[in-house]
């Protein structure tokens, strides 16, 4: 009986321990799951950092491998080969044949009119036409060369934009990691107050939920990194899966020009406007060429007639001139067409100027606004909100401030810090677009360190 009692007691003790283990597992399983998720995220972060360091100057050097840049260069190079073609004469014409007298027999050497005939002819355009054709082709080639430069500058600006987007995403992850520790501090304070019976369990759950939401936000940013890296690889002509490292934290780019100066520089140096101007020069040459077509071209031909027997050889020299008899429906209409095309190119140039001026104003506005907002965040909102958070956290620990107030202050800090670096990225992207528009780069595209928040 005593043995049976001991066995029953032992079984009861085991069941009690089992219930305690089940309770402890159910109580701490959310914490364990969160720890596992944090470890997974940290491990994925290590994978992201494994690519090494990403430097903007190195990326800019790779712009030459961009498919659009290579295509525009090849197009510009192909156009240069049209210049000598336009200036060249047409191919000479050779003629050879036989003339026989009678139908019944071969009379070469027996009859005076029987002969072998050989001639060569060459068309000579009216003086000035070849030069105008060459000028039109040369201006077209210069326009395509300027367009190729515009494509290169636009690609550089695009690479810079993607670089700063990638940098901002990494920076946002860093900010989340830094502020997660403060959310953990609030969670610890909530647990301490809950254990002492000074706060409800809801405050603990609130702090934990905010921390998990940060982890969710961090994971979403990591997915954004993959998208940005794919687009950056595509802009560089790489395979989209090529590994990229973490962008070096760049220094703020100085931009001291006024908006009017930037617009004037764009008018003077913009490759897009240079391309339009070259197209206008080409159209002007085509108008003059169409007017030259009122004048005839000349075809000079020389021939030799071989005869045999007692008949001497013969030769001939002739000139053929075309008569622009139908000039009203042909040459005159060609002039009208060329003049209309010239007017079109003038309007396109004015439209391009207006669009470039508008783009300069837009990006200059973004640049100025971003600089002012950065100053506001750096010297006003961030330090004041941080002080407010520390005061709220101290008040929460003593029971004078509610948990929601402390959490909202910390979320405001994170939002302001993220906005600061977001405006930093927008400012740098606006400068990159201004450099592409004006054709002048004031930044060495170098690396450095920006003051950390």
For the segment 94-103, what is each residue's pLDDT rounded down to a tens digit? 999 999 988 9
152 with 277: CB under 8 angstroms? no
The distance in angstroms from the start CA to the end CA of the chain is 74
The model's confidence at residue 11, banded by pLDDT at 50, 70 and 90, is very low
Domain-embedded: residue 289: yes
124 with 297: CB under 8 angstroms? yes
DSSP secondary structure string, 78-117? HHHTHHHHHHSPPPPEEEEEEE-SSSSS--TTTSTT-EEE
pLDDT at 442: 58
How far apart are alpha carbons 321 and 274 in whole angstroms? 40
The model's confidence at residue 250, banded by pLDDT at 50, 70 and 90, is confident
56 with 163: CB under 8 angstroms? yes
Token pair in block for residue 29? 């399983």
Token pair in block for residue 116? 């072998």
- 298-306 and 93-99 as β-strands: parallel, antiparallel, unpaired? unpaired
DSSP secondary structure string, 20-73? HHHHHHHHHHHHHHHHHHHHHHHHHHHHHHTT-EE-HHHHHHGGGG-HHHHHHH
CA distances from 142 to 9, 65, 266, 398 (A): 99, 22, 18, 76
Question: What is the average pLDDT score of the chain?
Answer: 82
Torsion of CA 227, 232, 235, 238, to 10 degrees: -100
Q: Report, as an integer, the average pLDDT of 250-278.
A: 90
Domain-embedded: residue 10: no
pLDDT digits (tens, 9 = 90+) for 125-162: 999 999 999 999 999 999 999 999 999 999 999 999 99
Domain-embedded: residue 109: no
- Higher confidence at residue 326 or residue 445? 326
Domain-embedded: residue 122: no
Inter-helix orientation angle 331-376/403-438, to 10° = 150
pLDDT at 24: 34
How far apart are alpha carbons 212 and 205 in whole angstroms? 10
The model's confidence at residue 303, banded by pLDDT at 50, 70 and 90, is very high
Q: Which residues are CB-neighbours of 436 under 8 A, at least 6 positions away? A: 153, 154, 156, 157
pLDDT at 182: 74
The tally of domains found in the chain comes to 1
Domain-embedded: residue 247: yes
pLDDT digits (tens, 9 = 90+) for 17-68: 443 333 333 343 344 334 334 433 333 333 344 457 888 998 999 999 999 9
Domain-embedded: residue 221: yes
Domain-embedded: residue 377: yes
CATH number of the domain at 344, please: 1.20.1600.10
Of the candidates 250, 251, 249, 232, the residue with the CA atom closest to the CA atom of residue 240: 232
Bridge-partner residues for 412, per DSSP?
none
How far apart are alpha carbons 390 and 331 in whole angstroms? 85
DSSP secondary structure string, 117-131? EEEEEEEEPPTTHHH
Domain-embedded: residue 41: no
Q: Map residue 421 onto helix, strand or coil.
A: helix
- Side-chain-facing half-sphere of 235: CA atoms under 13 Å: 23
pLDDT at 5: 45
- Higher confidence at residue 396 or residue 385? 385
The single residue listed with the structure tokens 């399983």 is 29
pLDDT at 443: 56
Token pair in block for residue 334? 């060609």
pLDDT digits (tens, 9 = 90+) for 189-231: 777 766 766 666 777 777 777 777 888 888 899 999 999 999 9
Token pair in block for residue 174? 């860093």
Of the candidates 85, 95, 142, 91, the residue with the CA atom closest to the CA atom of residue 116: 95
Cα 402 from chain centroid?
49
Would the pLDDT of 316 be above 90? yes
Q: Report, as an integer, the average pLDDT of 370-396.
A: 87
Would the pLDDT of 107 be above 80? yes
Domain that holds residue 176: 50-90+127-295+327-438
Would the pLDDT of 451 be above 50? no
């Amino acid at each position: 009986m005593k043995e049976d009692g001991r066995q029953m007691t032992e079984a009861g003790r085991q069941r009690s321990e089992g219930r305690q283990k089940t309770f402890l597992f159910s109580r701490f399983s959310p914490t364990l799951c969160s720890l596992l998720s944090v470890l997974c995220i940290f491990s994925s972060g290590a994978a992201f950092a494994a690519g090494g360091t990403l430097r903007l100057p190195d990326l800019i050097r790779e712009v030459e491998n961009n498919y659009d840049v290579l295509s525009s260069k090849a197009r510009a190079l192909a156009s240069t080969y049209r210049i000598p073609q336009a200036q060249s004469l047409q191919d000479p014409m050779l003629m050879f044949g036989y003339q026989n007298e009678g139908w019944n027999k071969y009379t070469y050497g027996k009859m005076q009119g029987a002969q072998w005939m050989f001639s060569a002819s060459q068309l000579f355009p009216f003086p000035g036409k070849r030069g105008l054709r060459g000028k039109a082709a040369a201006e077209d080639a210069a326009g395509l060369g300027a367009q190729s430069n515009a494509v290169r500058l636009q690609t550089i600006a695009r690479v810079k934009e993607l670089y700063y987007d990638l940098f901002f995403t990494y920076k946002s992850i860093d900010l989340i990691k830094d502020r997660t520790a403060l959310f953990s501090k609030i969670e610890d304070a909530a647990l301490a107050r809950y254990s002492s019976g000074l706060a409800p369990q809801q405050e603990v759950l609130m702090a934990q939920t905010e921390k998990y939401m940060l982890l969710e936000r961090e994971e979403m940013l990591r997915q954004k990194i993959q998208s940005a890296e794919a687009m950056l690889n595509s802009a560089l002509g790489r395979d989209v899966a090529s590994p990229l490292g973490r962008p070096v934290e760049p220094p703020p780019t100085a931009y001291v020009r006024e908006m009017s100066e930037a617009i004037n520089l764009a008018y003077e140096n913009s490759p897009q406007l240079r391309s339009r101007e070259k197209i206008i020069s080409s159209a002007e040459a085509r108008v003059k060429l169409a007017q030259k077509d009122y004048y005839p071209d000349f075809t000079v031909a020389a021939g030799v007639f071989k005869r045999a027997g007692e008949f001497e050889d013969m030769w001939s020299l002739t000139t053929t001139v075309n008569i622009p008899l139908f000039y009203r429906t042909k040459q005159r209409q060609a002039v009208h067409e060329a003049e209309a095309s010239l007017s079109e190119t003038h309007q396109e140039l004015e439209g391009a100027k207006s669009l470039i001026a508008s783009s300069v104003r837009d990006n200059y506005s973004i640049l100025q606004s971003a600089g002012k907002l950065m100053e506001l965040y750096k010297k006003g909102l961030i330090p004041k909100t941080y002080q407010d958070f520390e005061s709220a956290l101290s008040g929460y620990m003593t029971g004078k401030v509610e948990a929601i107030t402390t959490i909202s202050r910390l979320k405001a800090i994170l939002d302001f810090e993220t906005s600061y670096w977001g405006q930093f990225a927008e400012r740098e992207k606006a400068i990159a677009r201004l450099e592409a528009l004006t054709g002048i780069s004031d930044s060495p595209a170098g690396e450095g360190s920006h003051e950390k928040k």
